[in-house]
Chains A and B, each alone.
Chain A
């Protein structure tokens, strides 16, 4: 798991709940690196799960809600960081359709060994988009948060319906329907 996910999570917690909250969570987790993460590093997925679990407990917020919330924040961060590249996409569908073939390719240029999820696309009609998420990690909730934030970013009347393919969150089907 790339360190940028950890540092963004910490920024979110700090800005929304204060550094003391983050400090308590990190202390509670008793991490091997004492919670020192850099965005360019690579860490185990288990560490993130451990931190998210502790955070959920600390904030008394269900883990799926917390991850979705984080997904929304992450979208904003990514969009702002790479606005020059992403402004060419004028609709949510345009951007989401570019994830697998363009955005992930760009990510791989920076992080050759990054383990990215894969997406398959279906277009039942012009107003519908189906994204099938598959990953070795259980972050379908994070994906949902990102998709939701994308739709909100473009302010489009899109209804998102999620259907879990596997119960552990490693694969899910997102049905997006433009409602008008």
Chain B
């Protein structure tokens, strides 16, 4: 009996051992397969990693990642070229320290820089040069951590070229306006000249008369006869029409002063308009900028339209790149004039008007340019901001005007533009400019 018990025990132990060995074999196989799978995954991960690294290394854009505390984690070679610092140096810095105008404070402000669209910031590179960088910042949230990815395009050269282009376009405008300006100056100069000549002749006449009066004074002092001299004086006064001169000289003087004032105003406006401007934004009276644009373009619109202005007295100074706004306003006025001119080709009796109004809307200034020109079709309205789109004949339009207006107002000043137009009736361009440009 005891032997049977022991035999059963041995059988159970043997069966248990066999099961354990089978289990071990099965686990060994599972382990092998898991190892194979892991090896494949590691290879795939390594491949992906190498691929991602190659993309990072060869990307034309700077790619920088950083953690929620701002510490830089990834800094690709393009970023090294842009900022002029090595990856090792970058890893010791916070992302905001790379830029002149990005500050995270205690880190809570990072989210405010995460925008739907890329935005331009300035950075000073290792050589002390200012770079204009277009930064698209995105937030990457995972279960483990929050990190940020910045894709950075160096727009320094592009901006420099754009600035040169803007100067060239401004000079083109100046050239285009020159004939009109010359004409504008010629009219007052002509009547200044006429009046000055009149004053010169009047002065000659009066000098002759004064000579006779001196002769009379001498005769009186000597106690000599004066009848002859008095007759000469009366005759001369009649000849030079002294009464007329007394009346006309003050008027001629006033007209000459007005004429030179008019010339001075045009020259000042042209000088302001053609000034290359500064790379920094300055606070300017926007109504004055509009007056300048209207003055320099006067010869473009005065034959086709009346200019009406309604400038709000409470409009505050706007911090802006004044050269950009000069150009944008000029383009809008000239476009309005051309639209009226086009309408007058079919309706010669049509009396054109251009109205410019300004008013304060909270922390913004609204500028409305309206005209009763030919208006735009819906198709044209959709395309007006596209570069090189124009409805004007060759030689009159390059298709840059409205595209430039959009760039100057929207991109450079964070403003907005809305267009309303009715074909055959006129157009209204409404601009909103922030008084203080956002960060």
Return the CB mask of B1-40 against A: 1 if under 8 Å, else 0.
0000100110111111101100110010000000000000
Closest residue of B by beta carbon distance from A35: B12
Give CA–CA (A58, B40) in the complex, Å. Answer: 55
Q: Are B9 and A23 in contact (CB under 8 A)?
A: yes
A34–B11 touching, CB < 8 Å = yes
C-alpha gap A23/B19 in the complex (Å): 19
Q: Which residue of A is nearest B6, CB measured?
A: A19
Determine the chain A residues whose CB is within 8 A of the CB of B12 once the complex forms.
Answer: 26, 34-36
Q: Which of A37-45, A126-134, A136-144 contacts B (4 or more CB under 8 A)?
A: A37-45
Q: Which of B14, B16, B24 contacts A37 (CB 8 A)?
A: B16
User: Across the interface, do B5 and A38 meet the contact criterion of CB distance under 8 Å?
Assistant: no
| B23 touching A23, Cβ below 8 Å | no
Interface size on B, residues (CB 8 A): 15
Chain B positions within 8 Å of A19 at CB level = 5, 9
Any chain B CB within 8 A of the CB of A20? Answer: yes
Nearest Cβ distance between residue B8 and chain A, in whole angstroms? Answer: 6
A22-65 Cβ-contact flags toward B at 8 Å (1 or 0): 01001100000111111111000000000000000000000000
CB pair B19 A20 closer than 8 Å: no
Q: Which B residues are CB-close (under 8 A) to A39?
A: 20
Q: Is the CB–CB distance between A38 and B16 below 8 Å? A: yes
Q: Is the CB of A36 within 8 A of B13?
A: yes
Q: How far is the CA of A23 from the CA of B12 in the complex (A)?
A: 10
Expressed in whole angstroms, the Cα–Cα distance for A35 and B9 within the complex equals 9
- Interface-centre pick from B11, B14, B20 (highest chain A CB count, 10 A): B20
Contact B8 A38 (CB under 8 A): no
How many chain-A residues does the 8 Å CB contact rule pick out?
14
Q: Which residues of B contact A36 (CB under 8 A)?
A: 11-16, 19
A20 cross-chain contacts in B, Cβ below 8 A:
5
Residues of chain A within 8 A of B8, CB atoms compared: 23, 26-27, 34
Write out the residue numbers on chain A whose beta carbons fall within 8 Å of the beta carbon of B17.
38
Which residues on B sit within 8 Å (CB–CB) of A23?
Answer: 5, 8-9
- Nearest CB of B to A151, in Å: 33
Contacts of A26 in B (CB 8 A): 8, 12
The CA-CA distance from A19 to B177 in the complex, in Å, is: 116
Compute how far the CA of A20 lies from the CA of B16 in the bound complex, rounded to whole angstroms.
Answer: 18
B9 lies within 8 A of A34 (CB) = no
B14, B19, B24, B27, most chain A CB atoms within 10 A: B19
CA–CA, A38 to B8, complex, Å? 15
Q: How far is the CA of A37 from the CA of B19 in the complex (A)?
A: 8
Give bound CA distance, A26 to B23, whole Å: 23
Minimum CB–CB distance for A6 against chain B, Å: 10
Known contacts A38-B23, A41-B20, A41-B23; A33 and B5 CB within 8 A of each other:
no
In the complex, what distance in Å separates the CA atom of A36 from the CA atom of B9?
9
List residues of chain B with CB within 8 A of the CB of A37.
16
Residues in chain B near residue A35, CB distance under 8 A:
12
- Given known A19-B5, A20-B5, A23-B5, contact A38–B11 (CB-CB < 8 A): no
Which B residues, 126 to 153, have Cβ-Cβ distances below 8 Å to chain A?
A: none
Task: For B18, give the chain A residue with the smallest CB separation.
Answer: A36
Q: How far is it, in angstroms, between the C-alpha of A23 and the C-alpha of B8 when the chains are bound?
A: 8
Alpha-carbon distance between A41 and B23 when the two chains are bound, in angstroms: 7
Q: How far is the CA of A156 from the CA of B306 in the complex (A)?
A: 103
For B13, list chain A residues within 8 Å (CB).
36
- Contacts of B27 on A, CB cut-off 8 Å? 40
Check if B5 sits within 8 Å of A40, measured CB to CB. no
Nearest residue, chain B, Cβ from A42: B23
Q: Which residue of B lies closest to A40 (CB)?
A: B23
- A40 touching B20, Cβ below 8 Å: yes
Contacts of A40 in B (CB 8 A): 20, 23-24, 27
Q: Which of A48-92 contact B (CB under 8 A)?
A: none
Could you tell me the distance in whole angstroms from the C-beta of A23 to the nearest C-beta in chain B? Answer: 5
State A105–B9 Cα separation when bound (angstroms).
35
Q: Which residues of B contact A (CB under 8 A)?
A: 5, 8-9, 11-17, 19-20, 23-24, 27
Query: Can you list the 10 inter-chain pairs with the closest CB atoms, starting with the nearest?
Result: A36-B15, A38-B20, A36-B12, A38-B16, A36-B16, A38-B19, A23-B5, A40-B23, A35-B12, A40-B20
Q: Show 20 A/B contacts (Cβ-Cβ < 8 Å), sorted by A.
A: A19-B5, A19-B9, A23-B5, A23-B8, A26-B8, A26-B12, A27-B8, A33-B15, A34-B8, A34-B11, A34-B12, A36-B11, A36-B12, A36-B13, A36-B14, A36-B19, A37-B16, A38-B16, A40-B20, A40-B27
Interface residues of A (CB under 8 A from B): 19-20, 23, 26-27, 33-41
